[in-house]
């Protein structure tokens, strides 16, 4: 074994990243009271004595939230605890009505799972905090800045998912979070909307000399509310830590806020103020011991999950990896694709997949294809027309434009707009004209310069407005020139 001496300035570092994700569950009511969940409603219109923390009130857990949490635990291949309990996590903050959050501590609902190539450390249930809205300077509190608390969100059921530090780049973190989001969406347990806060992600970041197994001091990046910010925030923090270490300094354990506008990282809490949460078992709740019936119900509710679907699409249909993952991670696309495939058994799966993931997505953006005028059957028919050479690729794109704008069947649109492939008779005359009009190119083609063929074919395609098959046109030109 050789020892290589390097100074900190030239050493290569690798990031070690773990994620902590909070997922708001899509139940009808809050975690511990009967208030309906809401998003965007008038402030403080979804509260009751329980979720306002009035004296004498008691929490009663929502059975559906527990069902969803069990589904998540199973989907992430966790070990489910035979018996878990809730704790109180004590701290004072205006968005926390009781002065403690009911959460799970040393006996969480599930642990030791996996999603893709990242290990899941634990999955637990808790209640969400309320929302603080900045209200500007207050007249009542002399000159001081005031906030207003809205308790509508307070008490929303949350599942917290903590990964092991198995990620090693910002991009990988973003990619894995996309897989998690797709999985949760497929489970139907959450809206997983990062803008609206139903999916929130913190990252624990440290770096270490490349190739070593040591763990450096980690910092915590709070609440990055989009995939882009997550990746940029982690990248910025990795750079910051590298600069500190190369300068001979030490990374401090702290919580950081990433400002996506400026790219700056600022400290939220100093070390001295680190919290002493005084966790202890919540005496108002009894233990949770999932029964066989509860487990059976959760298991039965599990759909095919994105990771498994991607693997199946790749294996059974021979789709390229990226295409298969896109269809699986955006399960609405996958559903559209599989239903189109089923509508017309003659369509080539890979060609159809490319039409869905490239052409259809280009026209729909983030809109769920179910809500577009393009039906799976119609897209399958269009792809079949292309494969059967009844319509050229570029004309088919025009047909799809029309379908995306106003629906309709492809054959009807082709007929109506005269987009069918030009017939042999029509083509012959056009080929002759093109040869006549491009003597220079003809000469070059004859001399063996293959590239010059493009000018002739291009002229033909222009005249047919794309209603010709490129290969067929080339063949005809060569034949005419006696090169066939």
Spatial CA neighbour of 83 closest among 100, 64, 60, 66 = 66
Interface mask toward other proteins for 139-178; x: CB under 8 A: -xxxxxxxxxxxx------x-x------------------
Interface mask toward other proteins for 195-224; x: CB under 8 A: -----x-x-------------------x--
CB of 295 to other proteins, least distance (A): 12
Neighbouring C-alpha atoms within 13 Å toward the C-beta of 344: 21
Hey, which residues between 49 and 68 contact Zn ion (CB under 5 A)? 50-51
Hey, which residues between 245 and 264 contact other proteins (CB under 8 A)? 255
CB of 53 to other proteins, least distance (A): 4
Hey, which residues between 108 and 167 contact Mg ion (CB under 5 A)? 160
Residues contacting residue 335 through CB under 8 Å, at least 6 positions apart: 370
Spatial CA neighbour of 336 closest among 321, 362, 356 = 356
Q: Using CA atoms in the order 38, 39, 40, 43, what is the torsion angle rounded to 10 degrees? A: 50
CB of 50 to Zn ion, least distance (A): 5
Among 14, 64, 332, 348, binds other proteins (CB under 8 A): 64
CB of 12 to Zn ion, least distance (A): 53
Cβ–Cβ contacts within 10 Å for residue 476, how many? Answer: 22
Among 39, 63, 358, 432, binds other proteins (CB under 8 A): 63
Among 88, 111, 121, 181, binds other proteins (CB under 8 A): 88
> How far is it, in rounded angstroms, from Cα 325 to Cα 253?
36
CB of 49 to Zn ion, least distance (A): 7
The structure tokens 């609440």 sit at: 223
By CB atoms closer than 10 A (0-12, 13-18, 19+), residue 294 is middle
Nearer to other proteins, 74 or 102 (CB): 102
CB of 338 to Mg ion, least distance (A): 37
Structure token pair of residue 388? 């059967």
Residue 126 found at the interface with other proteins (CB under 8 A): yes
DSSP code for 36: B
Q: Are 107 and 80 in contact (CB under 8 A)?
A: no
By CB atoms closer than 10 A (0-12, 13-18, 19+), residue 244 is middle
Nearer to other proteins, 50 or 442 (CB): 50
Among 29, 44, 48, 348, binds Zn ion (CB under 5 A): 48
Structure token pair of residue 258? 């990433």
CB of 51 to Zn ion, least distance (A): 3
Residue 43 found at the interface with other proteins (CB under 8 A): yes
> How many residues touch Mg ion (CB under 5 A)?
1
Length of the chain, in residues: 484
Nearer to other proteins, 51 or 182 (CB): 51
Nearer to Zn ion, 35 or 352 (CB): 35
Among 16, 17, 31, 33, binds Zn ion (CB under 5 A): 33
CB of 303 to Zn ion, least distance (A): 31
> How far is it, in rounded angstroms, from Cα 226 to Cα 241?
22
Nearer to Mg ion, 131 or 444 (CB): 131
Residues contacting residue 37 through CB under 8 Å, at least 6 positions apart: 26, 27, 28, 29, 30, 46, 156
Residue 314 found at the interface with Mg ion (CB under 5 A): no
Point out which residues bind Zn ion (CB under 5 A): 33, 35, 48, 50-51
The contact set with Mg ion (CB under 5 A) reads: 160
């Amino acid at each position: 074994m050789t020892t290589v001496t390097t100074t900190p300035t030239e050493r290569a570092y690798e990031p070690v990243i773990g994620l902590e994700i909070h997922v708001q569950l899509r139940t009808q009511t809050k975690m511990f009271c009967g208030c309906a969940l809401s998003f965007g409603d008038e402030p403080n219109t979804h509260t009751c004595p329980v979720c306002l923390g009035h004296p004498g009130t008691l929490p009663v857990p929502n059975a559906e939230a527990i069902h969803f949490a069990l589904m998540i635990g199973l989907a992430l291949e966790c070990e489910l605890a035979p018996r878990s309990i809730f704790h109180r996590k004590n701290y004072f903050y205006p968005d926390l009505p009781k002065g403690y959050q009911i959460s799970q501590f040393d006996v969480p609902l599930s642990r030791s799972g996996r999603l893709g190539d990242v290990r899941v450390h634990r999955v637990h249930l808790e209640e969400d905090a309320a929302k603080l809205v900045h209200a500007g300077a207050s007249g009542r509190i002399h000159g001081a800045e005031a906030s207003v608390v809205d308790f509508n969100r307070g008490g929303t059921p949350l599942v917290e998912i903590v990964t092991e530090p198995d990620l090693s780049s910002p991009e990988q973190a973003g990619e894995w979070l996309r897989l998690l989001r797709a999985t949760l969406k497929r489970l139907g347990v959450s809206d997983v909307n990062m803008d609206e806060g139903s999916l929130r992600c913190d990252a624990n970041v440290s770096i270490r000399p490349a190739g070593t197994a040591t763990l450096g001091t980690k910092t915590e990046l709070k609440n990055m509310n989009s995939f882009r910010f997550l990746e940029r925030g982690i990248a910025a923090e990795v750079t910051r830590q590298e600069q500190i270490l190369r300068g001979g300094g030490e990374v401090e354990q702290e919580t950081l806020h990433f400002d996506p506008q400026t790219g700056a990282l600022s400290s939220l809490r100093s070390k001295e103020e680190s919290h002493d949460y005084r966790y202890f078992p919540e005496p108002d709740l009894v233990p949770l011991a999932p029964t066989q019936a509860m487990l059976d119900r959760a298991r039965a509710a599990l759909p095919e999950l994105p990771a498994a679907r991607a693997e199946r699409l790749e294996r059974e249909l021979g789709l390229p990896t990226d295409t298969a993952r896109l269809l699986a991670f955006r399960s609405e696309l996958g559903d559209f694709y599989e239903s189109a495939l089923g509508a017309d058994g003659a369509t080539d799966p890979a060609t159809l997949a490319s039409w869905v993931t490239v052409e259809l997505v280009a026209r729909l953006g983030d809109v769920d294809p179910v809500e577009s005028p393009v039906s799976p059957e119609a897209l399958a028919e269009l792809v079949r027309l292309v494969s059967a050479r009844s319509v050229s690729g570029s004309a088919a794109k025009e047909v799809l434009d029309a379908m995306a704008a106003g629906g309709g069947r492809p054959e009807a649109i082709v007929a109506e707009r005269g987009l069918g492939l030009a017939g042999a008779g029509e083509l012959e005359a056009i080929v002759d004209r093109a040869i006549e009009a491009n003597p220079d190119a003809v000469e070059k083609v004859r001399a063996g310069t293959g590239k010059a063929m493009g000018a002739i074919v291009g002229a033909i395609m222009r005249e047919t407005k794309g209603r010709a098959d490129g290969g067929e046109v080339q063949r005809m030109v060569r034949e005419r020139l006696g090169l066939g």
